[in-house]
Amino acid sequence: MTDTAITESASASTSAKPGHGGAMGFLVRYSNVLALVLLLVAASLLSPYFLSSRNILNVLRGATMIGLVSIGMTFVILNRGIDLSAGSIVGLSAALMAAFAPYGVGVAALVGVAAGVAVGVANGLLITRLRLQPFIATLSTMIFVRGLVYIYTEGSNIIVRDASAAFSYLGSGFLGPVPFPVVLFAIVWLIAALTLRYTVFGRTIYAVGANEEAARLSGIAVERNKVQVYTVSGLLAGLAGVVLASRLTVGEPNAGTLYELDAIAATLIGGTTFDGGVGGVGGTVLGVLILAFLSNVLNLLNVSPYSQMLLKGVIIVLAVVMSEWRKRR
């Protein structure tokens, strides 16, 4: 019985919709949308080249891989977990996609995505069966899977010779004026958003993330849900690897390194919190776009990548402070 004094009278007297509180409240609530808009406006003023459709579409295409990983990461973090192995999965599936190219793009992509699913299931089982903490379980698979990639590729690039048009389409093709990976990302985002909002699976992710014990006592199959969530993350990381290999027509053993950290950053910037049960993929997409456009405009302005990292660090802190404020309102 901690805050009953405030809370009961609060619930009785506030008939307004949640998220009230005037101009300041609006700023806090939509801070990440505003940040993206401000960024776009500032960027277009600073660099004449920025607003060209070619630049925008290029940035979006470049953001696809991190974007796919970030959506999977959002599922995991909503569930109060973490998936550090996502970057290694990208590397594994990129290598497999390149290696299986001779069997046709369909087979190659399937093998790549299946590998991601397999690692995801393994993560889920390590966490639910061996009762490892998500951080430890996925740290282990991150190292293990990266090792697998090095062994499989013997440490050097798997180059796809005479890549077919179909093979390259996934990463480099266009659907009308829009790069195909961007279309793919938009579709995945839409499915993810609808899943989280309108399916029993989606709401269960929130429930388990919000309070695992309460979920168990409510008859929710907590362990199954966790395995599913890590499977989704593995699947999307696998898909990102497939798109990456298609784009580069090469499977690099280092592909996807540190993707998991960018994905975690994008998720946090998007307002999903490590406490679980709060947030969603809409915010994450904003986070991905903020990071992508930021690095684009800084590149255009010739800011060194090292200085960019400083700024990224600061932005993550600001974003998390904002989500704390949002929570308190």
Task: Point out which residues bind other proteins (CB under 8 A).
Answer: 1-18, 20-21, 198-201, 203-204, 206-207, 210-211, 213-221, 275-278, 329
Considering only the C-alpha atoms of the chain, give the largest distance between any 2 of them, rounded to a whole number of Å. Answer: 71
Beta bridge partners of 159: 250
Question: Rounded distance, CA 129 to CA 121, Å?
Answer: 11
Question: C-alpha angle with apex 140: 157 to 232, nearest 5 degrees?
Answer: 80
For the packed helices 180-198 and 200-210, what is the interaxial angle rounded to 10 degrees? 70
Nearer Cβ to other proteins, position 12 or 165? Answer: 12
Say how far apart CA 192 and CA 75 lie, in whole Å: 9
Q: For residue 76, give the nearest of 208, 271, 238, 262 by alpha carbon.
A: 208
* Shortest distance (Å) from residue 220 CB to other proteins: 7
Between residues 10 and 321, which has the closer beta carbon with respect to other proteins? 10
How far is it, in rounded angstroms, from Cα 24 to Cα 131?
43
Q: How far is the CB of 273 from other proteins (least distance, A)?
A: 9
- Asked if residue 169 lies in contact with residue 180, where contact means CB atoms within 8 angstroms, the answer is yes
Task: Give the Cα separation of 267 and 317 in Å (integer).
Answer: 13
Least CB distance to other proteins at residue 308 (A): 33
CB-wise, 49 or 198, nearer to other proteins? 198
Q: Round to whole Å and give the CA distance between 189 and 281.
A: 7
CB of 197 to other proteins, least distance (A): 8
Which residue's CB is nearer to other proteins, number 17 or number 161?
17
Question: Which of 154/213 has CB closer to other proteins?
Answer: 213
Tell the smallest beta-carbon distance from residue 21 to other proteins (Å): 6
Q: Which two tokens stand for residue 156?
A: 């050097």
Identify which of residues 24 and 310 has a Cβ nearer to other proteins in the complex. Answer: 24
For the bound state, the minimum distance from the C-beta of residue 11 to other proteins, rounded and expressed in Å, comes to 5
- Between residues 34 and 197, which has the closer beta carbon with respect to other proteins? 197
Strand partners, 30: none
Q: Which residue lies nearer to other proteins by CB, 4 or 53?
A: 4
Least separation in angstroms between CB 275 and other proteins: 8
What residues contact 78, with CB distance under 8 A and at least 6 apart? 196, 205, 206, 209, 272, 276, 277, 278, 279, 280
Measured CA to CA, the distance from residue 124 to residue 224 in angstroms comes to 8
Q: Is the four-CA dihedral 38, 44, 47, 52 of positive or negative sign? A: positive
Question: Closest by alpha carbon to 97, among 237, 277, 218?
Answer: 237
Least distance between other proteins and beta carbon 242 (Å): 26
